[in-house]
Amino acid sequence: QQSELNSFLWTIKRDPPSYFFGTIHVPYTRVWDFIPENSKKAFQESHIVYFELDLTDPYTISALTSCQLLPQGKNLQDVLPRDIYRRLKRHLDYVKLMMPSWMTPDQRGKGLYADYLFNAIAGNWERKRPVWVMLMVNSLTEVDIKSRGVPVLDLYLAQEAERLRKQTGAVEKVEEQCHPLNGLNFSQV
């Protein structure tokens, strides 16, 4: 029952009330039907919405891409043990081979091509830091590929907020997400 679901919505008692909603970085279609009406209503009635990051800002996307890169002149092959690097390369070759069969007719109908999608996700992988490569590899599954083209919940809500002409903002900067991940040593990754 919708009314019995955990809403992940907290109310900050003030006038007017403020709300804090916990999101998850998955395609919104996987979770939208499970978000209770009180959360959707709070969003609809809000005038100002703040997100973790502003995923509609080109600078944010550019900064996220840049922070994932190894220092200039370094490649993944320089920092990974040879056997892990070879396994990773073989796995990415396998994913690239399989990706056309993982795509949906709807994706193809929207003009998405497997090579384009692979490059959008894994392009420049040899220049990325190991932690970001690990996250990338975790998203290169058949289920995840089939849902590409569907915005994650945060982005969907940000796009809806813009469409509804709500004032938006972000509570974090890219660096606040990037530096902790980039600070992990190889054994932690």
Is residue 1 assigned to a domain?
no
What's the pLDDT score for residue 103? 93
pTM over 0.75: yes
With contact defined as beta carbons under 8 Å apart, do 35 and 23 qualify? no
Is residue 2 assigned to a domain?
no
| Segments forming the whole domain that contains residue 51 | 9-183
- Compute the distance between CA of residue 133 and CA of residue 178 in angstroms, rounded to an integer: 14
Structure tokens at 24: 């998850």
Is residue 108 assigned to a domain?
yes
For the segment 157-181, the average pLDDT, to the nearest whole number, is 92
Is residue 189 assigned to a domain?
no
Is residue 3 assigned to a domain?
no
Structural domain count, the chain? 1
For the segment 147-160, the average pLDDT, to the nearest whole number, is 90
Task: Identify whether 27 is preceded by a cis peptide bond (ω within 30 of 0).
Answer: no
Is residue 4 assigned to a domain?
no
Higher pLDDT, 2 or 38: 38
Is residue 188 assigned to a domain?
no
Residue listed under structure tokens 């490649």: 75
pLDDT (tens digit per residue) in 15-67: 888 888 888 888 899 889 888 888 899 999 999 999 999 888 899 999 999 99
With contact defined as beta carbons under 8 Å apart, do 154 and 55 qualify? yes
CA torsion angle 177 179 181 182 (round to 10): 150
